[in-house]
Amino acid sequence: MRFLVKAATTSAVTLGVGAAALLYSQSTPDRGATSGSTDATKELSAKEFNGLQNPRRLKEALAPSHLPWTHHAQKGRYTNLRELATQVVHENAAASPPGERAYTVSSSDVKLIFYRLLGCPYCAKVEAVLQYHDVPYEEVHVDPLSGKGLPDRRYQLAPQLYFSPLVQRRSGSAEAAATASNGVYLVDSAEIVSQLSVPLKYAADIVNPHISATRDWITNHFHGASFAITNSSFRDAYATYTYVTPSSYHNFFYHVAGSAALSVLSRYKIQPRLIAKMERANGPVAAAPTEATACMDSNGVWMLSEASRKALTATMQLGAVEEWLQAELDTFLQRRPNGKVFHGGNSPDLADVEMYGVTRVIDQHPRLGAVVRGGAFGEWQTAMREKLKANTGSVYA
């Protein structure tokens, strides 16, 4: 379901225009032109696109000894370090106004740009990881229909990270031009989160089997379930719409038609697909996926008992949407150690951080938000918010 949010928003906007078939026929040649028949414009997979990047530059960008990774440790010593870390600094420029303690930008310091789609759960996970670890970044919102904002059309999915040298030469020489192009991309949320574990020091979470199982459930089940839940009816989709689409698509006509598209997609495609996966998982072959196929083939619920899977399936089919949401949240809470607030025990682990990120859209929902803010999950959410505030000074997510 990696395309879920992008496809849903695209469908919504297309219907909002009122000529879905025409727009589709027009956009298909455009995508073909963008993909093209030449190597220069061929649309690539995440693996292919990441493979084009300079491995030495990526390794240098992810070294934990410079900005933006050192921001949290150094921000108390310098003025406006967060703002400095998200803008291009010209060589020999003053880093802060006179009378304030200046940070001297190093040639190894890196500016981080985060390309994301609104409402995208994969983007939300990356956002939560960056915010929890107090990493400064510049954010670029990608248009879900036109793709405007994407830096390289050979790879057209979000999230994407771009690392470039923070300091730039003022000279217009060829050397300066080369420096300006010394950036490196990192795409695909799973690869991004894995690579960020080096500078942000959570590599142990990546290989922990219990954390990995919960993260698999979040990615391969809860993403789709949360979309189906928040868009299960026209009323709910209407409330969700403004949180998952850019403001340019918020006029009344787009809003009504788009909400209808989201609810149809939820009710007649996403929910039946989830139920079918659950029913297959209840069979005798419901086993943990192998490491090689986990990301592609997992149903996300293999770690649950058969009784739990059957109960969840029944709730999905027969229960009210609030009951379904509560059952999903309880599934996450039951993965915590006994008597502990967090999935990670006394402090959040990577599963906590990702779950916090992907539940932000639900939290904003005027009706369903009360479910995530109430009960044991609400207590967990409050504890996560306090941890974020303690780490960063404010709550961004």
Residue 186, classed as helix, strand or coil, is: strand
The DSSP bridge partners found for residue 113 are 138, 162
The residues of the chain that CATH labels 3.40.30.10 are 44-201
175, pLDDT greater than 90: no
pLDDT of the residue at 321: 94
pLDDT tens per residue, range 334-343: 999 999 999 9
170, pLDDT greater than 50: no
The residues of the chain that CATH labels 1.20.1050.10 are 205-392
pLDDT of the residue at 138: 94
CA distance linking residue 140 with residue 154, whole number of Å: 18
Architecture of domain 205-392: Up-down Bundle (1.20)
368, pLDDT greater than 60: yes
Global pTM reads 0.84
pLDDT tens per residue, range 276-318: 888 887 654 444 554 433 445 677 888 888 888 889 889 988 8
Radius of gyration (Cα) for the chain, nearest Å? 22
pLDDT tens per residue, range 181-201: 679 999 999 999 999 999 999
pLDDT tens per residue, range 144-161: 888 889 989 899 999 999
pLDDT tens per residue, range 327-363: 999 999 999 999 999 999 999 999 999 999 999 989 9
pLDDT tens per residue, range 251-272: 999 999 999 999 999 999 999 9
For the segment 367-378, the average pLDDT, to the nearest whole number, is 96
For the segment 200-218, the average pLDDT, to the nearest whole number, is 96
Q: Is 44-201 a domain of CATH 3.40.30.10?
A: yes
pLDDT of the residue at 305: 84
Rounded to the nearest 10°, the torsion over CA 83, 84, 85, 91 is 160
CA distance linking residue 278 with residue 196, whole number of Å: 32
pLDDT tens per residue, range 68-102: 999 999 988 888 888 888 876 655 554 455 556 77
pLDDT tens per residue, range 18-67: 322 222 222 333 333 333 334 456 889 999 999 999 999 999 999 999 99
pLDDT of the residue at 99: 54
Name the DSSP letter for residue 53.
S
Give me the percent of the chain exceeding a pLDDT of 90: 59
**Token pair for 269:** 């495609």
CA distance linking residue 260 with residue 254, whole number of Å: 10
CA distance linking residue 87 with residue 112, whole number of Å: 9
230, pLDDT greater than 70: yes
The confidence band for 394, taking pLDDT boundaries of 50, 70 and 90, is confident
For the segment 233-250, the average pLDDT, to the nearest whole number, is 92
pLDDT of the residue at 97: 55
DSSP letters spanning 102-148: PP---TT-EEEEEEE-TT-HHHHHHHHHHHHTT---EEEEPPTTT-T
**Token pair for 11:** 């469908």
pLDDT of the residue at 270: 93
pLDDT of the residue at 23: 27
pLDDT of the residue at 184: 95
